[in-house]
Structure 1
Amino acid sequence: MYNFTLTIAKWIVRLFGRVEVKNSHLLPKSEGYIVTCTHRGWLEIVILGICVPRPIHFMAKKELFDDKSIGYFLKNINAFPVDRENPSPSSIKTPVKLLKAGEIVGIFPSGTRTAENTPLKRGAVTIANLSQAPIIPAIYIGPRTLKELRKMKKATIIFGEPIHIETRSKEELENFTELLNERTNSLQKQL
């Protein structure tokens, strides 16, 4: 269902506007990696899926899965639930397993949709450390809805240099989280 949904999404997005992708050459070709992105609306999820050449397994808040039909759809497009208030070991095990199998995991490290600079949570860095998969930071600039895409006509995704994490210290994990934040802010300035 992922590929079918992606094909429809590409058609709709191209019908309403255009997508500019910068630095796609930085995306690993065959290994698993985490792609992190800003999260202001739902459209960047769709456009990120369009711009990354392999399927993405998105972490999504568990509340989205409460409705059975929406939950069924989300699971079939590779999303998996995470309890943000009480993260369980599966919040880490599921993405680590996917990454070690060479898959791509999409994480929104601010943890919520926001238009402001929200401090990043440590989850992406922790998962990268456990899986030994790189983090590819990304920034999305553009419309948040199809209506806005029709008006603005353009959405932009820019990918950053991979961040490789290897540590056993919680303090160093915090430092890497800050590095991810700095790299994300740097991408913002490039646009």
Structure 2
Amino acid sequence: MNFYKFVIKVFKVFSKIFFKYRVIGSENIPDEGNLVIAANHKSNLDPIFIAAAIENREVAAVAKKELFKIKPLAYILEKLNVIPINRENPDISTIKNILKSIKNGYVLGIFPEGTRIKEPGFGEAKAGLSMFAIKGKAMVVPISIISNYKLFNRVTIYIDKPISFEEYYRERLNTKDYERLSQNVLEVIKENYYINSK
């Protein structure tokens, strides 16, 4: 068993022991093809819950570069396919690495809001989600993480059907266009969040 699979098993065990963890819609993650998964973000536990939910593909997540300054953590993150990014000003090499990971068959994991939104509600979507999906010719799967993050309480991972941006592959888009398309995905995440929170 490789390191990635071992850690994912640990994440699954952790999620099921300490939370009433359930996944709805796992069949909506295709076994192959370019794919980006997009989820809301309120807790440091979110990457664990997401990784534990994706059983049929390896995820390459995007994370703030500051995490890589801690050497032992950096080593683990690299083993887990995590790609460091400067959230304020991503450079060309980072963007190329992200697109390469999609091309190489990894599922790109991204939080459209770009950071944790600790207060109730949601933030605004950043351009990155749709930009990576369009430039990587990837479908986007919206995922809603529904939890109050209290031990032994319910955690629901709701995985919706893939969204295609194929009609935009040949378009010349600006930052505002990418933000609008990313926001459209976030609206789906929000809708599923509120429907399944009841």
How far the C-alpha of 1:189 sits from its partner, in A, is: 2.5
Q: Deviations over 1:11-66 (max 9, x none)?
A: 22222233211122221121131101111112121111111122211100000001
Give per-residue Cα distances to partners, 1:131-150, cap 9 Å, x unaligned: 11011111101143xxx233
- Alignment pair present for 1:163 and 2:167: no
2: distance between equivalents of 1:87 and 1:69? 24
Quick one: which amino acid aligns to residue 168 of structure 1?
R
What RMSD, in angstroms, separates the aligned Cα atoms of the two structures? 1.5
- Corresponding residue number in structure 2 for 1:8: 10
Q: Equivalents in 2 of 1:141, 1:34: separation in Å?
A: 19
Larger deviation, residues 169-178 vs 129-138: 169-178
SS in structure 2 opposite 1:149? coil
Q: Determine if contact 1:96/1:130 at 8 Å carries over to the other structure.
A: yes
Q: Indicate the residue corresponding to 2:47 in structure 1.
A: 45
- Deviation of 1:3 after TM superposition, in Å, equals 1.2
SS in 1 for 2:122: coil
Cα distance between partner residues in 1 of 2:61 and 2:114: 12
1:65 maps to amino acid: F
- What is the SS of the residue equivalent to 2:172? coil
Residue 118 of structure 1 deviates from its aligned partner by 0.6
Partner of 1:123: 128
Superposed, which structure 2 residues align to 1:24-173 within 5 Å?
Answer: 24-53=26-55, 54-115=57-118, 116-144=121-149, 148-150=150-152, 152=153, 154-165=154-165, 166=168, 167-170=171-174, 171-173=176-178
**Deviation at residue 180 of structure 1 after TM alignment:** 1.2
Deviation of 1:2 (Å): 1.3
Structure 1 gap segments, 5+ residues each: none
TM-score (norm 2): 0.87
Over 3 Å counting, the alpha-carbon distance change for 1:15 and 1:175 in structure 2 is closer
